[in-house]
Amino acid sequence: MKNLFAQIAVILLLVTGSAFAQTQPLIDGKDPSAPDVDEKSVSKPELSESDKAKIEAELANSLLTRLKGAQDASTAKTIEQAIWQLWLRHPSPSVELLMGQAVKAMTVGENKKALRILTTVIELVPDYAEAWNKRATVYFYEGEYKRSLADIDQVLDIEPRHFGALSGLGLVHQAMENKKEALKALRRALKVHPFLEGAKDAEKRLEQEVEGEPI
């Protein structure tokens, strides 16, 4: 468990833009032939955006693998929170600002405003899965189920293991009375995240409701 926490903390520190260098002092003191240096004169390495994206993708893969094999809800929750942090991040500060505004609008029920912002983000960066996922959520709140499903499809094209989108897919199908499809979606979500909150109970309930029907 401690190793997992350490891995998450260190790599999240890296991908958020922090860089650091380690120096080892001479055992016998300062080398008299070495030039004087101070903190300002030391060049700190910076990760390029492509390097950050690569590290984030590798970390996400690692975390999703760990999530699938989690043995308890507490461990799964810690991993889940780290994954959400990664999914929400974007190399563009402007995009992250817009996403923050959209989430705030969603929180206070300003769904029309959230839709406008999220549509703008999607137009700017169509490969940003979380923008599609958030817009799918807003469409669900608005009862626009077909549009929600279309956006969920986009999310899953980009990241098939997006347990939030898979859970949302189950919710949309339940709202549309497509119980068998809802059950399929929840089972897919639970394969990725075996401790996904509420999903296990919903799966059991749907199993009873569609019992005897082909799935």
- What pLDDT was estimated at residue 1? 54
d(CA 59, CA 54): 9
d(CA 59, CA 80): 12
Give domain limits for the chain.
1-89
Q: Tell me the pLDDT tens digit for each residue of 22-63.
A: 333 323 334 444 444 444 444 455 677 777 778 888 999 999
Residues in the chain: 215
Average pLDDT of the chain is: 83
Listed residue (162, 172, 154) closest to 193, CA to CA: 162
**Side-chain-facing half-sphere of 98: CA atoms under 13 Å:** 22
DSSP of 88-101, one letter per residue? H--S-HHHHHHHHH
CB contact at 8 A, 172 and 148 = yes
Residue 19 pLDDT class (50, 70, 90 cuts): very low
Residues whose CB falls within 8 Å of the CB of residue 59, separated by 6 or more in sequence, listed in order: 8, 11, 12, 15, 86
pLDDT reading at 13 higher than 80 = no
The dihedral through the CA atoms of 51, 53, 57, 62 has a sign that is positive
The reported pTM is 0.78
- What pLDDT was estimated at residue 130? 97
φ/ψ of residue 162, rounded to 5: -70, 95
CB contact at 8 A, 62 and 79 = no
∠ Cα 38 42 44 (to 5°):
140
Q: Tell me the pLDDT tens digit for each residue of 110-150.
A: 999 999 999 999 999 999 999 999 999 999 999 999 999 99
d(CA 95, CA 103): 12
Q: Tell me the pLDDT tens digit for each residue of 71-124.
A: 999 999 999 999 999 999 998 999 999 999 999 999 999 999 999 999 999 999
pLDDT reading at 67 higher than 50 = yes
| Other C-beta atoms lying within 10 Å of the C-beta of residue 39 | 6
